[in-house]
Amino acid sequence: MTVDIEKVRRETIRWQILLTLYNASPIGAWEELVLSVIQATFPDATPLELRRALDYLSDRKLVELVKHPGGRWFADLTRYGTDVAEYTVDCDPGIARPVKYWG
């Protein structure tokens, strides 16, 4: 069995974004803050990699993005994104949400 390291990385970053924004609720967070959290696990993570993951989560209606004219992005969880982070709904493939092992 071969492990696709890039796929694991992408899906883990998406999960970490959801958790970061969950912890930033109800305010949301600028991309620089989210990137600093991602870089704690993946020190080589880039702003472009983060933006791709944010766009993916936005397309899935988990994250709401505000792309400011000056170039900065601001992100916040949607109601559905909060439900995924709280394990109250199923999580479709593409996000490395761990299996719920409690209660």
pLDDT digits (tens, 9 = 90+) for 76-101: 999 999 999 999 999 999 999 999 88
The reported pTM is 0.94
Q: Residues 35-74: pLDDT tens digits? A: 999 999 999 999 999 999 999 999 999 999 999 999 999 9
Query: Is the pLDDT confidence value at 1 over 90?
Result: no
DSSP string, 24-70: TTTT-EEHHHHHHHHHHH-TT--HHHHHHHHHHHHHTTSEEEEE-TT
What was the pLDDT predicted at 29? 98
When divided into structural domains, the chain yields a total of: 1
For residue 99, being part of any structural domain is answered with no
**Domain assignment of residue 27, yes or no:** yes
CATH of the domain at 81: 1.10.10.10
